Protein backbone atom coordinates (compact mmCIF):
# COMPACT_ATOMS: atom_id res chain seq x y z
CA UNK A 1 0.00 0.00 0.00
CA UNK A 2 1.41 3.43 -0.96
CA UNK A 3 1.20 6.29 1.52
CA UNK A 4 1.99 9.87 0.58
CA UNK A 5 4.50 11.15 3.10
CA UNK A 6 5.65 14.51 4.26
CA UNK A 7 8.64 15.28 6.46
CA UNK A 8 7.99 16.99 9.75
CA UNK A 9 10.77 18.23 12.05
CA UNK A 10 9.77 17.51 15.62
CA UNK A 11 10.58 19.96 18.39
CA UNK A 12 13.38 17.75 19.69
CA UNK A 13 15.14 17.87 16.31
CA UNK A 14 14.32 14.29 15.30
CA UNK A 15 12.90 13.98 11.82
CA UNK A 16 9.73 11.92 11.56
CA UNK A 17 7.71 10.87 8.55
CA UNK A 18 4.01 11.33 8.78
CA UNK A 19 1.85 9.31 6.40
CA UNK A 20 -1.49 10.47 5.06
CA UNK A 21 -3.15 8.14 7.58
CA UNK A 22 -1.51 10.13 10.36
CA UNK A 23 0.72 7.31 11.59
CA UNK A 24 4.23 8.35 12.55
CA UNK A 25 7.39 6.54 11.37
CA UNK A 26 10.39 7.53 13.48
CA UNK A 27 13.58 7.93 11.47
CA UNK A 28 15.75 7.80 14.59
CA UNK A 29 18.74 9.66 15.91
CA UNK A 30 21.60 8.13 13.89
CA UNK A 31 22.73 9.00 10.38
CA UNK A 32 21.47 5.68 9.00
CA UNK A 33 18.36 3.72 9.92
CA UNK A 34 18.89 0.28 11.46
CA UNK A 35 17.45 -1.45 8.39
CA UNK A 36 20.41 -0.33 6.25
CA UNK A 37 22.96 -1.70 8.69
CA UNK A 38 22.27 -5.31 7.67
CA UNK A 39 24.51 -4.84 4.61
CA UNK A 40 27.98 -3.51 5.42
CA UNK A 41 28.70 -2.38 1.86
CA UNK A 42 25.46 -0.37 1.73
CA UNK A 43 26.29 1.18 5.08
CA UNK A 44 29.81 2.07 3.92
CA UNK A 45 28.45 3.64 0.76
CA UNK A 46 25.88 5.72 2.61
CA UNK A 47 28.37 6.79 5.29
CA UNK A 48 30.78 7.74 2.51
CA UNK A 49 28.12 9.94 0.93
CA UNK A 50 27.32 11.58 4.25
CA UNK A 51 30.98 12.22 5.08
CA UNK A 52 31.66 13.57 1.58
CA UNK A 53 28.86 16.12 2.08
CA UNK A 54 30.36 17.13 5.45
CA UNK A 55 33.83 17.45 3.90
CA UNK A 56 32.51 19.46 0.94
CA UNK A 57 30.67 21.86 3.29
CA UNK A 58 33.76 22.38 5.41
CA UNK A 59 36.02 22.90 2.39
CA UNK A 60 33.66 25.56 0.98
CA UNK A 61 35.31 28.27 3.08
CA UNK A 62 38.53 27.57 1.13
CA UNK A 63 36.67 27.56 -2.19
CA UNK A 64 37.58 23.89 -2.67
CA UNK A 65 35.86 20.58 -3.21
CA UNK A 66 37.15 17.15 -2.23
CA UNK A 67 38.32 16.41 -5.79
CA UNK A 68 40.40 19.63 -5.79
CA UNK A 69 42.15 18.49 -2.62
CA UNK A 70 42.81 15.06 -4.13
CA UNK A 71 44.52 16.65 -7.13
CA UNK A 72 46.63 18.91 -4.91
CA UNK A 73 47.64 15.94 -2.75
CA UNK A 74 48.57 13.87 -5.81
CA UNK A 75 50.76 16.67 -7.18
CA UNK A 76 52.43 17.16 -3.82
CA UNK A 77 53.15 13.43 -3.45
CA UNK A 78 54.02 12.61 -7.09
CA UNK A 79 55.32 15.86 -8.54
CA UNK A 80 54.27 17.07 -11.98
CA UNK A 81 51.79 14.80 -13.76
CA UNK A 82 49.84 14.96 -16.99
CA UNK A 83 46.06 15.38 -16.90
CA UNK A 84 45.72 11.77 -18.02
CA UNK A 85 48.05 10.52 -15.27
CA UNK A 86 46.15 12.51 -12.64
CA UNK A 87 42.82 11.17 -13.88
CA UNK A 88 44.06 7.58 -13.85
CA UNK A 89 45.65 7.95 -10.42
CA UNK A 90 42.58 9.54 -8.81
CA UNK A 91 39.96 7.63 -10.87
CA UNK A 92 38.49 10.89 -12.19
CA UNK A 93 36.95 10.92 -15.68
CA UNK A 94 38.62 13.20 -18.28
CA UNK A 95 35.84 15.82 -18.43
CA UNK A 96 35.75 16.19 -14.64
CA UNK A 97 39.55 16.32 -14.52
CA UNK A 98 39.66 19.17 -17.06
CA UNK A 99 37.02 21.13 -15.11
CA UNK A 100 38.86 20.47 -11.83
CA UNK A 101 42.19 21.63 -13.25
CA UNK A 102 40.55 24.69 -14.80
CA UNK A 103 39.20 25.60 -11.34
CA UNK A 104 42.59 25.11 -9.69
CA UNK A 105 44.47 26.94 -12.44
CA UNK A 106 42.09 29.92 -12.28
CA UNK A 107 42.91 30.22 -8.58
CA UNK A 108 46.63 29.85 -9.36
CA UNK A 109 46.89 26.71 -7.21
CA UNK A 110 48.36 24.69 -10.13
CA UNK A 111 50.19 25.50 -13.35
CA UNK A 112 50.06 23.71 -16.69
CA UNK A 113 53.42 23.73 -18.44
CA UNK A 114 54.79 21.87 -21.46
CA UNK A 115 55.71 18.35 -20.41
CA UNK A 116 59.46 17.77 -20.74
CA UNK A 117 58.81 14.06 -21.41
CA UNK A 118 56.24 14.65 -24.16
CA UNK A 119 55.88 18.08 -25.83
CA UNK A 120 52.35 17.18 -27.01
CA UNK A 121 51.16 17.16 -23.41
CA UNK A 122 51.11 19.54 -20.49
CA UNK A 123 52.43 18.71 -17.06
CA UNK A 124 50.38 19.94 -14.14
CA UNK A 125 52.45 21.33 -11.28
CA UNK A 126 51.55 22.45 -7.78
CA UNK A 127 52.17 26.16 -7.19
CA UNK A 128 53.34 27.73 -3.95
CA UNK A 129 49.79 29.01 -3.36
CA UNK A 130 48.57 25.46 -3.99
CA UNK A 131 50.95 24.12 -1.34
CA UNK A 132 49.65 26.63 1.23
CA UNK A 133 46.02 25.99 0.32
CA UNK A 134 46.57 22.24 0.54
CA UNK A 135 47.95 22.64 4.06
CA UNK A 136 44.77 24.51 5.06
CA UNK A 137 42.58 21.88 3.37
CA UNK A 138 44.36 19.09 5.22
CA UNK A 139 43.66 20.89 8.50
CA UNK A 140 39.97 20.84 7.56
CA UNK A 141 40.16 17.12 6.74
CA UNK A 142 41.96 16.43 10.02
CA UNK A 143 39.18 18.22 11.91
CA UNK A 144 36.47 16.19 10.16
CA UNK A 145 38.39 13.02 10.94
CA UNK A 146 38.74 14.04 14.58
CA UNK A 147 35.04 14.89 14.81
CA UNK A 148 34.06 11.50 13.37
CA UNK A 149 36.64 9.17 14.88
CA UNK A 150 36.29 10.56 18.41
CA UNK A 151 33.14 8.42 18.50
CA UNK A 152 35.33 5.28 18.49
CA UNK A 153 37.86 4.14 21.07
CA UNK A 154 41.49 4.26 19.82
CA UNK A 155 41.64 0.50 19.20
CA UNK A 156 38.57 0.64 16.94
CA UNK A 157 39.96 3.72 15.18
CA UNK A 158 43.10 1.76 14.29
CA UNK A 159 41.06 -1.29 13.23
CA UNK A 160 38.84 0.86 11.00
CA UNK A 161 41.88 2.53 9.44
CA UNK A 162 43.47 -0.86 8.76
CA UNK A 163 40.29 -2.33 7.28
CA UNK A 164 39.77 0.66 4.98
CA UNK A 165 43.40 0.54 3.82
CA UNK A 166 43.15 -3.18 3.06
CA UNK A 167 40.01 -2.67 0.98
CA UNK A 168 41.25 0.51 -0.73
CA UNK A 169 44.55 -1.11 -1.74
CA UNK A 170 43.08 -4.46 -2.77
CA UNK A 171 43.86 -5.45 -6.35
CA UNK A 172 40.97 -7.92 -6.23
CA UNK A 173 38.50 -5.15 -5.33
CA UNK A 174 39.95 -2.92 -8.08
CA UNK A 175 39.52 -5.73 -10.61
CA UNK A 176 35.98 -6.40 -9.37
CA UNK A 177 35.07 -2.70 -9.63
CA UNK A 178 36.51 -2.48 -13.16
CA UNK A 179 34.73 -5.62 -14.37
CA UNK A 180 31.47 -4.44 -12.80
CA UNK A 181 31.83 -1.04 -14.53
CA UNK A 182 32.59 -2.77 -17.86
CA UNK A 183 29.32 -4.74 -17.61
CA UNK A 184 27.18 -1.64 -17.17
Q: What is the pLDDT of residues 14-73, one digit of tens each?
A: 444 444 444 444 555 667 777 777 888 888 988 999 999 999 999 999 999 999 999 999
Integer Cα distance of 64 and 103 in angstroms: 9
Of the listed ranges 77-81, 96-100, 121-125, 174-178, the one predicted with least confidence: 174-178
Integer Cα distance of 66 and 57 in angstroms: 10
By percentage, how much of the chain surpasses pLDDT 90?
62
Looking at per-residue confidence, does 181 or 147 come out higher? 147
**Among candidate residues 44, 65, 45, the one with its CA nearest the CA of residue 54:** 65
Q: In this structure, are residues 157 and 149 in contact, taking their beta carbons and an 8 Å threshold? A: yes
What is the model's pLDDT at position 1?
34
Q: pLDDT tens digits for 107-153?
A: 999 999 988 878 888 899 999 999 999 999 999 999 999 999 999 99
Q: In this structure, are residues 136 and 62 in contact, taking their beta carbons and an 8 Å threshold? A: yes
Burial status of residue 168 (CB atoms within 10 A of its CB: 0-12, 13-18, 19 or more): exposed
What is the model's pLDDT at position 98?
94
Assign 161 a pLDDT band (cuts: 50, 70, 90): very high
pTM, two decimals, is 0.77
Q: Is the pLDDT of residue 4 over 80?
A: no
Q: What value does the mean pLDDT take over residues 157-178?
A: 91
- Under DSSP, is residue 144 helix (H, G, I), strand (E, B) or coil? helix
Q: Which domains does the chain have, with CATH numbers?
A: 1-30 (no CATH), 32-161 (1.10.10.10)
- Under DSSP, is residue 123 helix (H, G, I), strand (E, B) or coil? strand
Q: Is the dihedral of CA 88, 89, 91, 94 positive or negative?
A: negative
**162 - beta bridge partners?**
none
Q: Are strands 110-114 and 81-82 parallel, antiparallel or unpaired?
A: unpaired
What is the model's pLDDT at position 29?
61
Looking at per-residue confidence, does 20 or 163 come out higher? 163
Q: Is the pLDDT of residue 10 over 90?
A: no
What is the model's pLDDT at position 90?
94
What is the model's pLDDT at position 5?
39
Amino acid sequence: MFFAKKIVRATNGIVDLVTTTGSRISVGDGVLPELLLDHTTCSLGRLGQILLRVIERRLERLGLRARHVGVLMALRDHGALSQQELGALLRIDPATMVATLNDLEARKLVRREPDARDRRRHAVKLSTAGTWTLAEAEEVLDCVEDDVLVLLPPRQQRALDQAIRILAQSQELADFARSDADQS
